[in-house]
A = this chain, B = another copy of it.
Amino acid sequence: MALIVQKYGGTSVGTPERIQAVAERVKRWHDQGDQIVVVVSAMSGETNRLIGLAKAISEEPAAREMDVMLSTGEQVTIALLSMALMELGVDARSYTGPQVAIRTDSSHMKARIESIDDARIRADLDANRVVVVAGFQGADALGNITTLGRGGSDTTGVALAAALGAAECQIYTDVDGVYTTDPRVVPQARRLTTITFEEMLEMASQGSKVLQIRSVEFAGKYNVPLRVLSSFGEGEGTLITVDHAEDDMEKPVISGIAFNRDEAKLTVRGVPDTPGIASRILSPIGEANIEVDMIVQNVSADSTTDFTFTVARGDMKKAIGVLEKVAKDVSAREIVADSDIAKVSMVGVGMRSHAGVASKMFEVLAKENINIQMISTSEIKIAVVIAEKYLELAVRSLHSAFDLDAPAS
């Protein structure tokens, strides 16, 4: 008998029929003696419907009121799933985030969980009930309703698993696991049996959007085993673990290849190569609420240098506006912007102990005549920016060259 937290996303609970299918799956686990806590999202489409109502009234609705409104989406799902479970003869009880004391800070629409009081949930589990909790939401110290931001239901699941000391947090979604890369681009992509938290973080932040990043961080921090599975089929999914076994000699160097087309590159040319120049350029960007991804600054040949960074494509125009003012202040020569780029990242903890991954990667790309515009590395990741038109070619070539095409062992 194990305590398991299961989280079902919006697509998995998108219709009454799908909710009934989730109830049947939960019942199977419950029947075999496990204690089950289920976390659900709003039915797919519901959050957008609510946002549409708000936007019809106000262009910038107050965040506090958005949270009051958006939190209803999950509240409907918990009630429906509990009804479906009881219809199958499984005693169930639903709770909103505030009801099980998911205490957050007061940052509306992007609140962070501070604590959970698990007493009520434990009492229900001990009474052989399935507990159904609304994802994505909580309340601050004053009782104001808060939400954790889009995808926050994953975080709720992990936080509950941590608070309850669950054996596993299972994230049911519309994919059956984490793949070496996007199978739509590389048909030979294969499902990973396991992946480490660190790799998963790099994969997620690089655009393989299976899990919300914050939930992976959270799971890593509290050592909660996380498993991604399909809510439509069977299968083991992918288990996200603390680390690969040390003695796993067969461990591949690279676990996966992530990519992202949604970035734009901005270069400030001819800036004086003096201390503090990076912060003088990036501070105004941050103040304008533009998130920066890659940053590259090369050593300078003369007294000036070029400073390059990437932002989300939708922020490019806004960033140019900010940079035009900054360029004058720092006496830069010009600003160059390019949105026809893509980022390709190779991720793997095996990289740590294997030299030559970077050079092999560059060699593969060179052989295909793909020019590398930017390079950025971390301990378990190498990311390059290339022209967008070469993206598919680059990912396929790398996938094959690093033996990811091979069938799962």
Asked whether, in the complex, the Cβ of B76 is within 8 Å of the Cβ of A57, the reply is no
User: A400 to chain B: which residues have CB within 8 Å?
Assistant: none
Complex Cα gap A79–B94 (Å): 23
Asked whether, in the complex, the Cβ of A65 is within 8 Å of the Cβ of B82, the reply is yes
The answer to whether residues A68 and B94 also contact, given A61-B83, A82-B62, A99-B143 and a CB cut-off of 8 A, is yes
The answer to whether residues A16 and B57 also contact, given A72-B76, A99-B143, A143-B99 and a CB cut-off of 8 A, is yes
Asked whether, in the complex, the Cβ of B79 is within 8 Å of the Cβ of A54, the reply is yes
Excluding A69-B75, A96-B145, 19 further A-B contacts by CB distance (< 8 Å) are A16-B57, A20-B57, A53-B76, A53-B80, A54-B79, A54-B80, A54-B83, A57-B84, A57-B87, A58-B83, A58-B84, A58-B86, A58-B87, A61-B83, A62-B82, A68-B94, A68-B96, A69-B80, A99-B143
For this chain, the copies found in one complex come to: 2
> In this assembly, does A190 line the interface, its C-beta being within 8 Å of a C-beta of chain B?
no
Complex Cα gap A299–B61 (Å): 68
User: A80 to chain B: which residues have CB within 8 Å?
Assistant: 53-54, 57, 65, 69
Task: From A20, A54, A62, A99, name the one whose CB has the most chain B CB atoms within 10 angstroms.
Answer: A62
Q: Which residue of B lies closest to A20 (CB)?
A: B57
B-facing residues in A59-99 (Cβ within 8 Å): 61-62, 64-66, 68-69, 71-72, 75-76, 78-80, 82-84, 86-87, 93-94, 96, 99
The answer to whether residues A65 and B87 also contact, given A53-B76, A57-B16, A76-B50 and a CB cut-off of 8 A, is no
User: A65 to chain B: which residues have CB within 8 Å?
Assistant: 79-80, 82-83, 86, 94
Complex Cα gap A145–B68 (Å): 15
Question: Which listed residue, B19, B69, B75, B143, touches A57 by the CB 8 Å rule?
Answer: B19
A-B contact pairs, 24 of them (CB 8 A): A16-B53, A50-B76, A54-B79, A57-B80, A57-B84, A58-B84, A58-B87, A61-B83, A62-B82, A62-B83, A62-B86, A64-B94, A65-B80, A65-B83, A68-B75, A68-B79, A68-B94, A68-B96, A69-B75, A69-B76, A72-B75, A75-B75, A96-B145, A99-B143
Q: Which residue of B lies closest to A82 (CB)?
A: B65
Asked whether, in the complex, the Cβ of A16 is within 8 Å of the Cβ of B69, the reply is no
> In this assembly, does A301 line the interface, its C-beta being within 8 Å of a C-beta of chain B?
no
Complex Cα gap A133–B69 (Å): 13
> In this assembly, does A56 line the interface, its C-beta being within 8 Å of a C-beta of chain B?
yes
Interface on chain A toward B: helix, strand, loop, or mixed SS? helix
B-facing residues in A170-202 (Cβ within 8 Å): none
Complex Cα gap A31–B143 (Å): 29
Asked whether, in the complex, the Cβ of B64 is within 8 Å of the Cβ of A93, the reply is yes
Complex Cα gap A19–B57 (Å): 8
Complex Cα gap A64–B94 (Å): 9
Complex Cα gap A20–B58 (Å): 10
User: A143 to chain B: which residues have CB within 8 Å?
Assistant: 99
Q: Which residue of B lies closest to A66 (CB)?
A: B79
A-B pairs with lowest CB-CB distance, top 5: A69-B79, A16-B56, A72-B72, A68-B79, A65-B79
Complex Cα gap A20–B54 (Å): 11
User: A84 to chain B: which residues have CB within 8 Å?
Assistant: 57-58
Complex Cα gap A86–B82 (Å): 36
Complex Cα gap A407–B84 (Å): 57
Asked whether, in the complex, the Cβ of A57 is within 8 Å of the Cβ of B83, the reply is yes
Q: Which residue of B lies closest to A86 (CB)?
A: B62
User: A66 to chain B: which residues have CB within 8 Å?
Assistant: 79
